[in-house]
Structure 1
Amino acid sequence: MHFLHTADIHLGKTYRTSTNEFERYEDFFRVLGRIVTDAIAEQVDFVLIAGDLFHTGQILPRTFARTIETLQPLKDAGIPCIAVEGNHDWIHRRDSISWMEALSQMGYINLLRPARTEDGGYRFDPFDPETGSGGHIEIKGINIYGLGYIGTQAGNHVARICEAVTTDNNLLLFHVGVWTYSPVEIGNMQPDEALPLAERFSYVALGHGHKPYVITTPEGRPYALNPGAPERVNFGEEKYDKGYFLVSVTDGTYHHEFRPTTPRPMLVVTANLDGSENAEQALDTFRNQITEQVCHLSDERRPLLEVRLTGRVAFHPFELGRERLRLALDEICSPLHLEIKNHLSLVTRSGTGEDIKRSLAEIERDVLGELISANSGYKERKDELVSLALAIRDQVLKGDIEGEELLGLLSREP
């Protein structure tokens, strides 16, 4: 018996403000296609997807069509794909069927979701292929239970999960992180809260955090594993290993092997422009420092690049605009997507001869504050509206936000 365990695919992710939107969009389908190909080549008994197949619950129809196209070879090979919902998959309008439910009803995945009892417990009903629903499925003697994302109180549910399982040879598919291992800040449980799962389940297939890790019992037995995301989803993941687990089961013992994938190169670089007297001098320094930091790239694919500007300069930071920096970077490495973090400080002289340092963030807040305060009706809420404007600006520049999310920011309670 052997199976493939992956998670956090994030299909549909792209940068909507970028001219290279489609190329980045395809990255996530390419990596899923590679995983499907590997699963067929290894003739696995099943594939596990531990949540966040999609980047958002409200996907585009073309994303659904591409998902079907990518999973079709797995279905044709007769390899079951068992999945649970992650926090990104969840559709908040429960009067509508989710895309995950649709995939399950069409037979491309077996979506596991438990029922709840009147006293707050769990009930893992057998999976029904006719309806595409259920909480438990048995494949070649292994009982697979599924539980999607249940939020920050996941640790409090462990006892009820274990109580609901009465079979042997159990595997749990669970979209949750474990503190000290998971890099995410929400949706985690403590290691001591997770440990009782080891008594009921031989293998706990985790998702949620995009960094791979393996958790062992005090005796040293691996029991909970998170493969991380196979593609780099966000900046901050540039140094994480990327891949999935290929797991074999022999006489009830699980042996895992981490299989690496080939994500698009992602770099976070810093340009220290301290002491620059003018924008031209700063731009020359910028070119030299960035070239030195990206010269080691051997991947022919255009990188995802985050640039951080630091230092005290004698010119207004606005002079070193995004377009000017982008043109310089196009000559150096032609990034597929660019994010600029401008932490430059403007140094001026006061009447007493003392240096006054003002960051770009401070200047932006002051300018926005003056514009908002010009309308007396907004003056009392100046700080709140400035923060809201900057939050919207940051999300739009990242190109990673849906229209509904922007409307949610704009429609916050006063």
Structure 2
Amino acid sequence: MAKRKTTPKTAETKPTPEAAANAIRVLHFADVHIGMENYGRTDGETGLSSRVVDFLRRMEEMIDYARENDVDLIIFAGDAFKTRAPSPTYQREFAWRIRDLAELAPVVMLVGNHDLPPNAVKASSIEIYDTLDVPNVRVAQEYTVFKMETKRGPVIIGTAPYPMRARMLQHIRSSQKTIREVDDLLEEQLNHILEDLAVQADELDPDNEIPRLLTGHFTVRGAILGSERSVMLGRDVQVSIGLLADPRWDYVAMGHIHKWQDLTLDREDAPPVVYSGSLERIDFGEEGDDKGYMWVSLARNATVYERKAVTARPMMTLRIDCRTDKLPTQTVLREIKKFDLNEAIVRIHVQLTPQTDALLNDARIREALREAGTFHIAGIRRDVERAYRTRLDSNPEQLTHEQLLEQYLHMRDMDPAYRNEIIEAGNKIIHDEAD
């Protein structure tokens, strides 16, 4: 558990009993991306992609924890779907789970870049919750600050959805400006907006007693990026961490970047600025990333949080060097047995020479992976080294058969001992033919 008050936050810090008893219990998650189907197959029970089922099950794990621990407030920091125009089936599956969350506590849904419509006049993919006035759900499409009641007391919430370039530039004549100049203008505007949100929070709480939370969906400069780069839509506006590390907030719940991180972990007198990360691995760029959500005990100047892990689908890359192996297939099979690949998405990268490449049996490797219980074989990649080919002697007709063979083999990239065996065997054949 981590704490930020007037001392640096550490993983071992515990809240005081008084703070824990009065704290607002907040669930913070983001970047669900329902609709990611890569490395999946059709699930016979649901008819959905098995990878979509993975993402939905991670949501269900999170909902179960929130229910068991009596959640007070739920912050979804943006990006519900993979695309801006999700299928009705994906909308239905996501809506069922939002309904389950709304039965537990108020839900604030921030609009992320994947939730935005293709142009400003169309509806976002999550706007329907506001249109239907779904009980206990508020869609945050604007930069605003409001007070929300929970069963453990009021919370002041500031919302900073993904900055739409067209909307933010509608009063600025940007046609004659460079891309860099436009980006600087956007960042300047967003800076003013974030400062104004903090001012509004003070105005709503003149006695400085109500816990405050800001939620945003954009890139903070200095954050460690993840696979969101591969699914990013449009150019990104970056914000300085100094604008968010503001003691007028108690917790900053961020979405957009898939790798979980606290950007103010070692800073005094600043709130936690936390990317919860995505709930499930999207591709191999997130192979080593833990996945989960944040469980926050929100209190004025005494906020603590815990990161809760989910059982995300494992992704594993096996890198195997077979350049000097006489039996590369057997080497790969031995490596496969060293790992627990059950229910994992697996890819294999094998380093080979032209000689060992010819000996590698893909079919046997795939059979071994299936026997190991892999969920999906993402591919077997052969990295074959191509040696630089020097020319033979300028007068090869003057060389003996033995000399030609030796010169040819020295041009190949192979183990010297293996090369000597071939030369010895070749010389024997040459001599036998001569006899």
The question of a shared fold, defined as TM-score above 0.5 by the shorter chain, is answered with: yes
1:56 maps to amino acid: T
1:313 maps to amino acid: P
Q: Is the 8 A contact 1:137 1:143 kept in 2?
A: yes
2:113 paired residue number: 87
Deviations 1:138-161 (A, max 9, x none): 334322122222387675322332
C-alpha spacing 1:144/1:85, structure 2 compared with 1 (3 Å):
same
The correspondence of residues 4-403 of structure 1 with structure 2, limited to 5 A, is 4-15=27-38, 18=41, 22-77=49-104, 79-106=105-132, 107=134, 109-114=137-142, 124=144, 136=146, 138-139=148-149, 140-150=153-163, 155-156=187-188, 157-164=190-197, 165-168=199-202, 169-184=211-226, 187=236, 189=238, 193-199=240-246, 200-216=248-264, 218-219=267-268, 221-276=270-325, 281-292=327-338, 294-295=339-340, 302-314=343-355, 325-347=365-387, 351-352=391-392, 353=408, 355=411
Q: Is the 8 A contact 1:347 1:356 kept in 2?
A: yes
2:161 maps to amino acid: G
Q: Is the 8 A contact 2:263 2:274 kept in 1?
A: yes
1:338 maps to amino acid: A
Deviations 1:71-114 (A, max 9, x none): 2222333x121121222233314444232111333327421122
Unaligned 5+ segments in structure 2 are 1-23, 166-182, 203-210, 230-234, 393-407, 414-435
Q: Is the 8 A contact 1:276 1:313 kept in 2?
A: no
C-alpha spacing 1:183/1:323, structure 2 compared with 1 (3 Å):
farther
SS of 2:127 mapped into structure 1? helix
- Give me the whole-angstrom Cα distance separating, in 2, the residues matched to 1:30 and 1:225: 23
Deviations 1:323-345 (A, max 9, x none): 66433421334332514443222
Q: Which stretch of structure 1 is more off in the superposition, 2-11 or 179-188?
A: 179-188
1:128 paired residue number: none
- Give me the whole-angstrom Cα distance separating, in 2, the residues matched to 1:340 and 1:93: 41
**What's the CA shift for 1:54?**
1.4
**What's the CA shift for 1:349?**
5.4
Deviations 1:166-225 (A, max 9, x none): 2235321111233443224674736xx221223342221111222221122742544311
- Give me the whole-angstrom Cα distance separating, in 1, the residues matched to 2:360 and 2:389: 21
1:395 paired residue number: none
Question: What is the percentage of aligned positions where both structures have the same residue?
Answer: 24
Q: Which stretch of structure 1 is more off in the superposition, 91-100 or 65-74?
A: 91-100
Q: Is the 8 A contact 2:39 2:345 kept in 1?
A: no
**What's the CA shift for 1:42?**
1.8
2:337 maps to amino acid: T
- Give me the whole-angstrom Cα distance separating, in 2, the residues matched to 1:158 and 1:67: 32
SS of 1:142 mapped into structure 2? strand
SS of 1:195 mapped into structure 2? helix
SS of 1:288 mapped into structure 2? helix
SS of 1:236 mapped into structure 2? helix
- Give me the whole-angstrom Cα distance separating, in 2, the residues matched to 1:220 and 1:161: 18
Q: Is the 8 A contact 1:314 1:348 kept in 2?
A: no
2:316 maps to amino acid: L
Larger Rg: 2
Q: Which stretch of structure 1 is more off in the superposition, 306-315 or 179-188?
A: 179-188
Q: Is the 8 A contact 1:155 1:194 kept in 2?
A: no
C-alpha spacing 1:175/1:213, structure 2 compared with 1 (3 Å):
same
Higher relative contact order (CA 8 A, sep 6+): 2
**What's the CA shift for 1:32?**
0.7
C-alpha spacing 1:335/1:347, structure 2 compared with 1 (3 Å):
farther
C-alpha spacing 1:203/1:291, structure 2 compared with 1 (3 Å):
same
- Give me the whole-angstrom Cα distance separating, in 2, the residues matched to 1:6 and 1:64: 18
The Cα RMSD (Å) is 3.1
- Give me the whole-angstrom Cα distance separating, in 1, the residues matched to 2:362 and 2:123: 42
C-alpha spacing 1:339/1:2, structure 2 compared with 1 (3 Å):
same
**What's the CA shift for 1:351?**
4.1
- Give me the whole-angstrom Cα distance separating, in 1, the residues matched to 2:333 and 2:361: 14
- Give me the whole-angstrom Cα distance separating, in 1, the residues matched to 2:335 and 2:354: 16
**What's the CA shift for 1:234?**
1.9
SS of 2:316 mapped into structure 1? strand
Q: Is the 8 A contact 2:158 2:214 kept in 1?
A: yes
Unaligned 5+ segments in structure 1 are 115-122, 125-134, 358-414
C-alpha spacing 1:287/1:223, structure 2 compared with 1 (3 Å):
same
TM-score by length of structure 2 reads 0.66
